[in-house]
Amino acid sequence: MNRLILNILKPVLRIKFIKSVVLKFFYFHQNFKTFLLRNISKALPHLILLIAPKSLIKNQENNILMPTKKGFWETLIDGAKSEIYNKKSDSEKLIRVNKLWSEKDGYKWIKYDQKNNQIEKIVDKRKNIYFLIDQYLNENKNIKTICEIGTGDGRYLNFLADKFSGIKTFIGVDLNAKMMEENNNKYKKNKKLIFLHGKVNQKYDRVKEISSNSILFVSFRTLTWFTQLELEELFSFIANKKEFLSLAFFEQNEICSEKETKSKVRTGILFNSHNYKILLKKCGLMIVKEHIKMHNNLIKDHEISIIANNKKFNK
């Protein structure tokens, strides 16, 4: 319906001023509708799940990691489930997320993404964080290792290996053992690329063994899966190492960074929004570069690209 309206208005939209006004109204309408439905879900989560079509609820449960159409009921169901899920403890959330990504659901999603998202599209989406990383590496020539947290199929790490010739080692770490085995076979001719199964803090000794003392950890749309407790553990781990460690990440976020300090579930079930600035500072990491792009002011939906390091420990 929305596409039909835009097609009907296409001749009129050629007039620059009218186009600007119409598009602003159109996107405000879309954003306000999402804002309204989510607030209804937040206020009445159990009622929403009681009256919502059971087939839609089941479909979302069966395809928890897969993209689904976000119509009226889907948005309400997502909001209701997220509100209930948000009340679970971090330990409960952590068990569920680790199970999803380490087993067949995680593998299925990685393969879906590999098929439906071309590397060119991924590169374009991550251009802001790439620009910051490029700048940062030029300013810190001593960094010789990039380690990706949540590397998936390794395509983007392979892209970085082609672009950053000054980096000697590229290490991908992921919870899905099957995918890491496939990556090591697929990229075995590229001696710069190594893939490890597990969590980065648990694999750190191995990472350090095959790399240098100056490591840049990178993460792209992965930290959104971390609970606040898990994220604080990662940040503190990096902050307190004697080696010069840095972290560059790009995330989608829905939180008011000026007011909200506690992490919360965002949009769909399992995704988390974090106040990254506060958590980085709390754990002892220093932000050295950042870029923020706002998408929807009503729900504080924005992209955040940050680079932080533990340099104060390495004077």
pLDDT of residue 236: 97
Are the beta carbons of 128 and 291 closer than 8 angstroms?
yes
Whether residues 301 and 199 fall in one domain: yes
Q: How many domains does the chain have?
A: 2
Could you tell me if residue 23 is inside a domain? yes
Residue at a domain's end among 85, 114, 134:
85
Instruction: Please give, one letter per residue, the 3-state secondary structure of 54-101.
Output: HHHHHHHHHCCCCCCCCCHHHHHHHHHHHHHHCCCCHHHHHHHHHHHH
Q: Tell me the two tokens of residue 136.
A: 């940062």
Whether residues 148 and 26 fall in one domain: no
Residue 233 and residue 85: Cα distance in Å, rounded?
A: 21
Could you tell me if residue 295 is inside a domain? yes
Whether residues 76 and 179 fall in one domain: no
Are the beta carbons of 169 and 241 closer than 8 angstroms?
no
Could you tell me if residue 97 is inside a domain? no
Count of residues in the chain: 315
Whether residues 116 and 80 fall in one domain: no
Q: Which of helix, strand or coil describes residue 217?
A: strand
Could you tell me if residue 134 is inside a domain? yes
Whether residues 75 and 137 fall in one domain: no
Residue 164 and residue 154: Cα distance in Å, rounded?
A: 15
Q: Tell me the two tokens of residue 168.
A: 């000697």
The per-residue pLDDT string of the chain (315 residues; one tens digit each, 9 = 90 and over) reads 556 665 665 665 555 555 555 555 555 556 667 778 878 888 898 998 899 888 887 877 767 666 666 788 888 888 888 888 888 888 998 898 899 899 999 999 999 999 999 999 999 999 999 999 999 999 999 999 999 999 999 999 999 999 999 999 999 999 999 999 999 999 999 999 999 999 999 999 999 999 878 999 999 999 999 999 999 999 999 999 999 999 999 999 988 888 889 998 876 667 899 999 999 999 999 999 999 998 877 778 889 999 999 986 544
Residue 193 and residue 37: Cα distance in Å, rounded?
A: 45
Residue corresponding to tokens 């990096």: 238
Q: Nearest Cα to 175, choosing from 262, 87, 124, 110?
A: 110
Whether residues 126 and 259 fall in one domain: yes
Whether residues 169 and 221 fall in one domain: yes
Could you tell me if residue 202 is inside a domain? yes
Whether residues 280 and 154 fall in one domain: yes
Q: Give residue 181's domain range.
A: 104-313
Which own/partner contact pairs does 124-132 have at CB distance under 8 Å and 24+ positions apart? 126/156, 126/220, 126/250, 128/250, 128/291, 128/293, 128/303, 128/305, 129/220, 129/248, 129/249, 129/250, 129/291, 129/305, 131/291, 132/248, 132/289, 132/290, 132/291, 132/305, 132/307
Whether residues 137 and 46 fall in one domain: no
Q: Residue 205 belongs to a domain with what CATH number?
A: 3.40.50.150
The neighbour count for residue 114, using CB atoms within 10 Å, is 15
CA 185 to chain centre: 26
| Burial of 168 (C-beta count, 10 Å sphere; 0-12/13-18/19+) | middle
Residue corresponding to tokens 């992209």: 303
Q: Which residues contact 181 (CB under 8 A, 6 or more apart)?
A: 197
The neighbour count for residue 235, using CB atoms within 10 Å, is 23
R_g (Cα) of the chain, nearest Å: 21
Whether residues 145 and 262 fall in one domain: yes
Are the beta carbons of 270 and 85 closer than 8 angstroms?
yes
Whether residues 70 and 152 fall in one domain: no
pLDDT of residue 315: 44
Could you tell me if residue 96 is inside a domain? no
Could you tell me if residue 127 is inside a domain? yes
Residue 107 and residue 114: Cα distance in Å, rounded?
A: 11
Could you tell me if residue 91 is inside a domain? no
Backbone angles phi, psi at 246, to 5 degrees: -130, 160
Whether residues 68 and 169 fall in one domain: no
